[in-house]
Structure 1
Amino acid sequence: MSIVITGATGQLGRHVIEALLQRNVPAAEIVAAGRSIEKLADFAARGVQVKPMDYTDATSVAQALKGASKVLLVSGNEVGARVDQHRTVIEASKAEGVELLAYTSVANADTTAMKLAADHQATEAILKDSGVPFAILRNSWYLENYTDQLQGTLAQGALAGSAGEGKVSAATRADYAEAAAAVLVADNQAGKVYELGGDHAFTLSELAQEISAAANRPVVYQDLPASDYAGLLAGFGVPELFADILADSDLGIARGDLLVSGSDLRTLIGRPTTPMPAAVRSALAAV
C-alpha cells in the first residue's frame, strides 16, 4: 500500500512529500512520480520510492500507480492539454481501485469565470463521473507568484497587474502542501471539497506597500487594463497565451474569484497560514 504523489518533481509535489515525511509516513510507503526522476534522487536517498511517470504516457501512469492506496493528482502545467492528462491518471486510479484520489484544483472552481479554471472545472467533472473516491483541494493563489518576482518588482519600483482593489487569499506552497498531506493521511475524505486560501486576504496595492516597507524602497502598484498587462508580461518573455491567462486571472481577483472565505486551510494544517508580510520578508532575505 502506498501514497503516490504525481508531478513530484514540481515545487508543490516536493513540499507534499516533505509534509508526509514530517507526519511520520514511512518513506517506503511514499511514491514520488514524475518525468525527470533524476530530480528526485534526494528523496530516493531517504527511502522514498521513485517512479517515472509522464501524464501523456498511460503505461507509465499505470505503472506508477501500481499498488497505490491513495493518489495526489497535482494538476499539470500544460494549460489546454492537461484535461486529457488528468483523465489518464483518473482512469488509472479507477483501474487500480484506489481508496482516494485527491486533486489540486482552483479556488471557487464551481463559480469562477477565470480562463485558468476551465481545465480544473473539466477535471472536477471527470472525477465526479468516474466512480473514483475523491477529494478536491481548491487552492487559491500561491504567495510565491509574487515573492518569486521580487527582484524584478524592486528593479521596476512597481508591481503591475489588473486586479484593481480585489483581494486574493494567497498562501505559500508549503501551506497548501501541508493541507494535501493532511487529507492524504486522514480517514473518511471521499467526497470532501476544500476551499483553501490564506487567513488574511490582501489587495495588490497592500502587497506593494508591504514590499516597499520591507525593502525600504519605493514600490507602487500599477493597475493596468488587462490587454496592457498581458502585453507587458509578453514583453518580459511570458508566452502570449499564458500572459493572456495571467492577465485574465487578475480580472478574476478583481471580481473576488480568488477570495476564499472560511478556514479550511488553517484547519487542515493546524496552525495559522503564512502571512503575506512574513513571506515577503523571507523572500527579500534570500534576494
Structure 2
Amino acid sequence: MMKLLVTGATGQLGSLIVQHLLKKVPAEQIAVSVRNPQKAAHLKEAGVDVRHGDFTQPDTLKAAFQGIDRLLIISTADGDRVQQHMAAIQAAKVAGVSFIAYTSVVNARESQLVLAHDHAKTEEAIVASGIPHVFLRNNWYVENEKDMILAAVSGAPYLSPIGDGKVGWATRNDYAEAAANALTLSKHDKEKYELSGPLRTHTELARIVSEVSGKEIKVEQIDVDTFGEFIASNGVPKEAVPFVKAIQSGIRDGALAVESDDFENLLGRPLTPIKEKIREMISK
C-alpha cells in the first residue's frame, strides 16, 4: 500500500491538502506530520495516521517519515527555514522516501524576491538528495489581500506600493488541490510547476472588488516606505516590517509576474475565479 505524508497538516494550506487527499485515496494511506498531534485529533478520527514531527527536532522527522513512500514538504513559516527544510530532506533520505513534492515560490532559483533564497536552497538540496521530486512553485494567495480588501470595501483607499507590478493571485484551495494531485500522480512529465493565476495589478484586483461589492474602490499608489509606516501603525510587528516591504518591492519589480498554464494542467480544470473568493470574503 502506497503511504503518503503531508507535513504541517494543521496549517491553512496543509489542512486543505489533506481534505483533498481524503477525496482521492483511502484515509489509511494518508499520514500527517504535525508539531502538535492534539491539533490533528479530527484527522485521527477520520482515519488518518497522525505522527509527531517538528522541523526544529530532526529526530522526530526521521521517526515520522518511516514507512512513507511519497512525501509533501510544506515550506515552514518561521525560524531558520533552510535548516528546517534540510532536516526534512535528510530525514526523507534516511527513511527511504521515494518521492518528494515541495511547496516553493514562482521562479525560485532566478527570482529576486526576498522569499526566494530559502526556496532556492531547498530546491537545490532536494535535487542533490537524488530523490525523485517535483517543485510546486506557488505564486500568491488571493487570501493574502483580505485585510486590504475588507478595509477598501469599508471605505478606506486600497493602498498599493507595487505600482504596475503584476501578481498571479489564486485561491488557497486551488493551490491545495494542485498539491494533492501532485502527491498522488504516479508520473510527472516535469520537475517544476509554476503555479500562477492570471496576472493582475492592484488596480485590476480593485476593479474586481468593486464589481463584487458594488462599491467604488479607490487605489492609492504609495511608495514602499509609506506602506511600511502604514502597516507598522496598523498592528504589523516592527521587526516584520522590513520583510514585508522587501516583498512589496520585489512584486513591484515583477518577481511574481510569471505566466504559465501549469496550474490548470495540474488541476485538470480551470482555476476558481478569484471573484468567487472575494465575494466570500466580503460576505462574511
TM-score bracket, normalised by the shorter chain, equals over 0.9
Bigger Cα displacement from structure 2, 145-154 vs 167-176 = 145-154
> Are 1:134 and 1:190, in contact at CA under 8 Å, matched by a contact in 2?
no
Q: Which residue of structure 2 aligns with residue 99 of structure 1? A: 98
**How far apart, CA to CA, are the structure 2 residues paired with 1:116 and 1:130?**
22
2:17 counterpart of 1:16: yes
Q: What amino acid does structure 2 have at the position aligned with 1:57?
A: Q
- Per the alignment, residue 256 of structure 1 pairs with 254
Question: 1:40 Cα shift?
Answer: 1.5
Is 1:267 equivalent to 2:265 in the alignment?
yes
Aligned partners of 1:273, 1:243: CA distance in 2, in Å?
Answer: 32
Q: Which residue identity does 2:97 align to in structure 1?
A: V
Q: 1:54 to 1:8 in 2, by over 3 A?
A: same
Contact 1:100 1:189 in 2 (8 A): no
Letter of the aligned partner of 2:278 in structure 1? Answer: V
Residue 212 of structure 2 aligns to a residue whose secondary structure is: helix
- Paired with 1:54 and 1:164, the residues of 2 have a C-alpha distance of 39
Asked if the contact 1:230–1:240 (Cα under 8 Å) also holds between the matched residues in 2, the reply is no
Q: Which amino acid aligns with 1:94?
A: K
Kindly provide the CA deviation profile for residues 126-146 of structure 1, in whole angstroms up to 9, marking residues without a partner as x: 112222222111000011101
Distance 1:219 1:187, change over 3 A: same
Per the normalisation by structure 1, the TM-score is 0.93
Shift of residue 148 of structure 1? 5.3
Unaligned runs of 5+ in 1: none
Q: Is the 8 A contact 1:102 1:137 kept in 2?
A: yes
**Aligned positions, number:** 283
**Which residue does 2:29 correspond to in 1?**
29
Q: Distance in 1 between matches of 2:44 and 2:148?
A: 31
Match of 2:82 in 1: 83
| Counterpart position of 1:193 | 192
How is 1:1-287 mapped onto 2 (pairs within 5 angstroms)? 1-23=2-24, 25-78=25-78, 81-147=80-146, 149-155=148-154, 157-189=156-188, 192-198=191-197, 200-286=198-284
CA distance in 1: counterparts of 2:218 and 2:129, whole angstroms? 47
Task: Write out per-residue CA displacement over residues 47-73 of structure 1, whole angstroms, 9 at most, x where no aligned residue.
Answer: 111112111011111111111101100
- In 2, the alpha carbon distance for the partners of 1:71 and 1:190 equals 18
Aligned equivalents of 1:158 and 1:51: distance in 2? 46
8 A Cα contact 2:106 2:256, kept in partner: yes
Q: Which runs of 4+ in 1 moved over 4 A?
A: none
- Contact 2:159–2:220 (Cα < 8 Å) also in 1: yes
Kindly, what percent of the aligned residue pairs are identical?
36
Task: Measure the CA separation in 1 of the matches of 2:244 and 2:93.
Answer: 33
Aligned-partner SS, 1:194 = strand
CA distance in 2, matches of 1:35, 1:14: 14
Shift of residue 102 of structure 1?
0.7
Task: Give the direction of change, closer, same or farther, for the CA distance of 1:175–1:282 in structure 2 (3 Å limit).
Answer: same
**Which ranges in structure 2 are unaligned for 5 or more consecutive residues?**
none
Matched to 2:141, the amino acid is Y
Once the two structures are overlaid, the 10-residue window that deviates more, 276-285 or 49-58, is 276-285
Asked whether the equivalents of residues 98 and 133 of structure 1 are also in contact (C-alpha less than 8 Å), the reply is no
1:149 deviates by 4.7
- Deviation by residue 1:170-222 (Cα, 9 ceiling, x = unmatched): 11111111111111111233861110011x22111111222223222332222
Q: CA deviation at 1:109?
A: 0.9
Task: Kindly indicate whether the alpha-carbon contact (under 8 Å) linking 1:65 and 1:92 is maintained by their aligned counterparts in 2.
Answer: yes
C-alpha contact 1:133 1:191 (8 A) present in aligned 2: no
